[in-house]
Amino acid sequence: MMIVKTKYGQASNTKSISAQQAARIVKNKFGGKVLKVNNSGSKKNPSYRVKLLKDNGHVISVNVDAQTGRISG
């Protein structure tokens, strides 16, 4: 019974930031232009993959944790 409640609780707040918020976080950190935002990660560990064209012409891809908004990779 308790396990079901915990799973339900986690499922209801799997994403706390939107794709737009993820894009904004990356843009604020690196500058440039957001090209694409994809859902990635798993149900337990959701994240966004943000592709960015930097002002110097480089294209970078970074992961943004969908729960915390933390940038990695």
Residue 23 has pLDDT above 70, yes or no: yes
14 CB burial (10 A radius; 0-12, 13-18, 19+)? middle
**Average confidence score pLDDT of the chain:** 84
Q: Give yes or no for residue 24 having a pLDDT over 90.
A: yes
- CA angle (40, 28, 54) in 5-degree steps: 80
Domain with 50, as residue range(s), is 2-72
What's the CATH code of the domain at 35?
3.10.450.40
> pLDDT at position 41, please?
87
- What is the predicted pLDDT for the residue at 32? 96
> Per the structure, how many domains does the chain have?
1
The pLDDT of residue 10 is above 60: no
